[in-house]
């Protein structure tokens, strides 16, 4: 009969008898802790340590390989939830739409911007210190009361985000993709502030135009067949022209330019350990490039 002193137990489960050793750390492991290896079995800790030491696969633009466009799903959900919020409380649009400069009276009546303005009115929009409008307006859309286009506005934007976003996110990875989306949205709002500060705007179109620019730059960088890409960009530019009479072409153009600039940095920085930090610096530089003229415009409007 085997003595009690010679009984070996699992190092993770001391009460479970075990006679199998991990081929990596040589500790005894029970069946619950065994993981198949190329030779023999390994324990859970060694498998985790091995996974950390394996270099993660990256795309040509430095993004991690992902199986699901999680950020695109979240962005669509946020836009839809914001739209539902508009239906329940329409005043959300007046408070959070992109507005560079406006006036509001004691009774809540909105007026066009003028400076100086009567003492009974107070400034609203970015000039009133509501800087969050530079981003919140990109998650709002025209309400159903605007007729057929009110419904089509969010439907067209979300279908576009679904089609383009999945492709761009799969190449850039989640962090770079989110930075691209937000900077494109900000770029659209800043151009609205610079050119048409008294015009209220809503919609994710600026960010989506930025994704379109990214799609074009990435295709060029990868040497893809440009015939399909060129047709896509032609349609995007046609919509830019049409939008001049329907929505904010300034927002579309600003998003297109900002998205193109970000993706150029993503695409043409040489591979290496410094690529990630350089991408981060490029995003911060563009952020500064957008914020500075916005601050200057607000200072100009407020005198």
pLDDT of residue 226: 81
The rounded Cα 105 to chain-centroid distance in angstroms is: 36
Q: Which of 210, 201, 91, 209 is nearest to 138 (CA)?
A: 201
Mean pLDDT along residues 59-75: 84
Residue with token string 């659209």? 188
Q: Which of 95, 97, 103, 111 is nearest to 127 (CA)?
A: 103
Yes or no: say if 151 and 144 are a contact pair by the CB < 8 Å rule: yes
Half-sphere exposure at residue 95, Cβ-oriented, CA atoms within 13 angstroms: 7
Dihedral of the CA atoms 115, 120, 125, 131 (nearest 10)? 100
Q: From the CB of residue 62, how many other CB atoms can be counted at a distance below 10 Å?
A: 20
205 is catalytic: yes
Res. 23: pLDDT tops 90 = no
Res. 42: pLDDT tops 70 = yes
The rounded Cα 119 to chain-centroid distance in angstroms is: 40
Residue with token string 């005043």? 91
Q: What is d(CA 101, CA 194) in angstroms, rounded to the nearest whole number? A: 11
pLDDT of residue 34: 87
Q: Which position has the higher pLDDT, 34 or 2?
A: 34
5 is catalytic: no
Q: What is d(CA 267, CA 273) in angstroms, rounded to the nearest whole number? A: 15
pLDDT of residue 1: 43
Mean pLDDT of the chain: 87
pLDDT tens digit sequence for 163-174: 899 989 988 989
Res. 143: pLDDT tops 80 = yes
Q: Which two tokens stand for residue 201?
A: 């705007």
Q: Which position has the higher pLDDT, 241 or 130?
A: 130
Mean pLDDT along residues 178-196: 96
Name the percent of the chain lying above pLDDT 90.
Answer: 44
pLDDT tens digit sequence for 86-117: 999 999 999 999 999 999 988 888 888 888 88
Q: From the CB of residue 18, how many other CB atoms can be counted at a distance below 10 Å?
A: 21
Domain chopping of the chain, boundaries: 4-53, 70-302
Q: What is d(CA 126, CA 186) in angstroms, rounded to the nearest whole number? A: 13
Q: Which member of 138, 184, 189, 205 is catalytic?
A: 205
Q: Which member of 41, 153, 252, 279 is catalytic?
A: 252
pLDDT of residue 228: 81
pLDDT of residue 21: 87
Q: Which of 189, 211, 190 is nearest to 202 (CA)?
A: 189
Query: Is residue 102 within a helix (H) or strand (E), and if so which, with residue range?
Result: strand 102-104
pLDDT of residue 269: 85
Q: Any idea what DSSP says for residue 9?
A: B
- Entry pTM: 0.80
Report the chain's terminal Cα–Cα distance, integer Å: 96
**249-268 helix and 275-302 helix, angle to the nearest 10 degrees:** 150
CATH code of domain 70-302:
1.20.1540.10
pLDDT of residue 89: 93
Yes or no: say if 34 and 20 are a contact pair by the CB < 8 Å rule: yes
């Amino acid at each position: 009969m085997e003595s009690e002193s010679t009984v070996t137990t699992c190092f993770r489960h001391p009460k479970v008898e075990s006679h199998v050793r991990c081929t990596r750390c040589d500790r005894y492991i029970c069946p619950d802790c065994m993981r198949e290896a190329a030779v023999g079995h390994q324990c859970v800790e060694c498998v985790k340590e091995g996974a950390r030491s394996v270099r993660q696969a990256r795309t040509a633009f430095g993004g991690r390989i992902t199986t699901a466009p999680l950020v695109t799903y979240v962005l669509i959900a946020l836009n839809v939830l914001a739209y539902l919020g508009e239906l329940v409380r329409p005043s959300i649009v007046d408070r959070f739409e992109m507005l560079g400069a406006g006036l509001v009276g004691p009774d809540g009546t909105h007026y066009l911007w003028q400076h100086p303005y009567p003492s009974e009115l107070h400034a609203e929009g970015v000039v009133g210190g509501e800087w969050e409008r530079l981003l919140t307006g990109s998650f709002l859309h025209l309400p159903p009361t605007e007729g057929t286009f009110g419904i089509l506005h969010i439907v067209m934007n979300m279908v576009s985000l679904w089609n383009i976003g999945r492709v761009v996110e799969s190449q850039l990875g989640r962090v770079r993709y989110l930075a691209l989306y937000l900077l494109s949205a900000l770029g659209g709002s800043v151009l609205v502030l610079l050119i048409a500060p008294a015009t209220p705007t809503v919609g994710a179109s600026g960010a989506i135009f930025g994704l379109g620019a990214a799609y074009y730059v990435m295709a060029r960088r990868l040497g893809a067949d440009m015939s399909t890409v060129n047709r896509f960009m032609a349609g995007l530019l046609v919509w830019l022209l049409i939008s001049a009479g329907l929505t904010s072409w300034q927002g579309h153009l600003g998003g297109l330019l900002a998205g193109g600039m970000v993706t150029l940095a993503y695409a043409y920085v040489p591979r290496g350990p410094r690529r990630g930090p350089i991408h981060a610096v490029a995003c911060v530089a563009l952020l500064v490039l957008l914020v500075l003229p916005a601050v200057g415009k607000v200072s100009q409007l407020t005198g």
